[in-house]
Structure formats: C-alpha cells, structure tokens
Amino acid sequence: MPEAHSLHRHARDQREALAGQVLAVSSPQGRFDAAPFDGHRLDDVQAYGKHLLYSFDEAPDVHVHLGLKGIYLRTADLALPPRGGTRMRLAGEREAFSLIAPSRCEALVPQARDALLASLGPDPLRVGEAGREDAARRLAAAGTAVGAALLDQSVWAGIGNAWRAELLFLAGLDPARRVGEEEAGLLWDLAVELLRLGVDAGQVVSDPTAPDERWVYKRDTCRRCGTTVQTRTVAGRTAYVCPRDQR
C-alpha cells in the first residue's frame, strides 16, 4: 500500500501541474460522479497521511485513498484517450492525471472532510519537528506494541509496513515492545528526516548513503550485521526484525 511519502509526492506533482486551472474532470469507468467538478478550478491538492484531498472552487472536496492497487498515470498528450478503467481523470491545460483502481474516490462535504482529518494522527510530512511532542505522547499512550501502534492511522498518519520495518530497525526497537515518550520521540525524528527524502526519491529511503537499499524490509539477512531477518505477524502485517540489532 502506498505510504505517506508517495501520497505527498502525488500531491506535490499534481498541485504543481494543475492547481489554479479550470479542469476537465471525467470518469471513463463511470464509477465516480465527475459532473460537480468538471469545469471548475482546482485550488489545491493536499496529502494527509495516506489520503489525498482535492479542493475545487464552488464544489465539494474530492477524497482519494489509493488502497493496495491504486495508481496515477500522467500524460502530456491530452488527446490520448484514458484507459477504460480510469476512475477519475483530471485534465488541465498541459497535462492530465488518470486515477486507476483506488479504494476510495468520493466527494466530501465540509463536515465529512473535517471528520476524516480529525480521525488521523499527526503526519510527519505535515507537522514535522513541530509535532514531536504530540506524536511522542500519542505513540507512548497507544497501549499496544509499537509495531501495531505505528500502523494505526489515528496514532500517526502515513506510516505503512515498509516504513514501520525500517524505522524500528534504525531505532533498535523490536515491534513487539511498548515504548515510552523518549523512544517515541526518536522514532518521530527519524520519520520526519527520512520521509522527506522519500518524497523526493519516490521510494522508501532509510539510508541516505544508499537510497536503494533497505536494512531489514523484505530482506533475508540484516544489511548491517548479516543476521537472518525474522518475520512475524504484527497487526495483521508481516514485520521484519533483526533479532540482534532490535532490542
């Protein structure tokens, strides 16, 4: 499932390409009512954790969650017909973005938008260092194993399985442990630093000196010490753990 760095990259790219323009909005697939948005100006695109929100003038917001299979296709050829499976197509003056196979693509009235945002914890890419105290408090107070709490979007927004594995490794923490505010703050600092790199790189970057490498995620052996990586199920997802480097 795409994690926060991917969603913030989508938001940045679409905001730069389309914001301020009157868009042709359509749904070739027919599963999204595009009429309220077609011919309206796109004011902004923002990412909140794993969610995208599109703000239009004189129209509701559009909420997108990519889920497991959702993707965007970008083209500068506006005459190129979109794929038949396109849920939503946003066409501006020079570029178009086609949304395919999202788990959610829906209009949101202001009350629903506010409820969605209120359900989310702090996003490292939105509040950064300023959100450290709140983020540490939330994670420490989650009352469950840190590996489960990190995937709870009401605790922190945007962290998925890949970032969970790499952040816990760098902090030296076993996912089955509970953490205090000091350890939670360290995890937040790592998330703020590394997710920013992930936005620019378009991938999980857990080692700035080797951006294409991972420490434990989907590896047979730990890249640091060579110990066999253990796998366990934590919060319904496979956790990757180095038993030597993670306490």
d(CA 159, CA 203): 13
pLDDT, tens only, 171-202: 999 999 999 999 999 999 999 999 999 999 99
For the chain, what's the residue count? Answer: 247
Q: Is 208 a catalytic residue?
A: no
Domain boundaries 124-241, CATH class:
mainly alpha
**Which pLDDT band, with edges at 50, 70 and 90, does 84 fall under?**
confident
**234 beta partners:** 237
Q: Is 2 a catalytic residue?
A: yes
Task: Report phi then psi at 91, rounded to 5.
Answer: -115, 125
Q: Is 3 a catalytic residue?
A: yes
- Please give the CATH topology (third level) of the domain spanning 4-118: N-terminal domain of MutM-like DNA repair proteins (3.20.190)
| Residue ranges of domains in the chain | 4-118, 124-241
d(CA 107, CA 58): 13
Is the CB of residue 159 less than 8 Å from the CB of residue 150? yes
Q: Out of 9, 28, 50, 124, pick the active-site residue.
A: 50
Q: Out of 113, 178, 223, 237, pick the active-site residue.
A: 237
pTM confidence score = 0.95
Structure token digits, residue 182: 């000091």
pLDDT, tens only, 37-80: 999 999 999 999 999 999 999 899 999 999 999 999 999 999 99
Report the run of H or E that residue 51 belongs to, with start and end: strand 51-56
Q: Is 50 a catalytic residue?
A: yes
pLDDT at residue 212, rounded to an integer: 97
d(CA 236, CA 38): 40
Residues in Cβ contact with 176 at an 8 Å cutoff, skipping those fewer than 6 apart: 145, 147, 232, 234
The residue assigned the tokens 């938008």 is 113
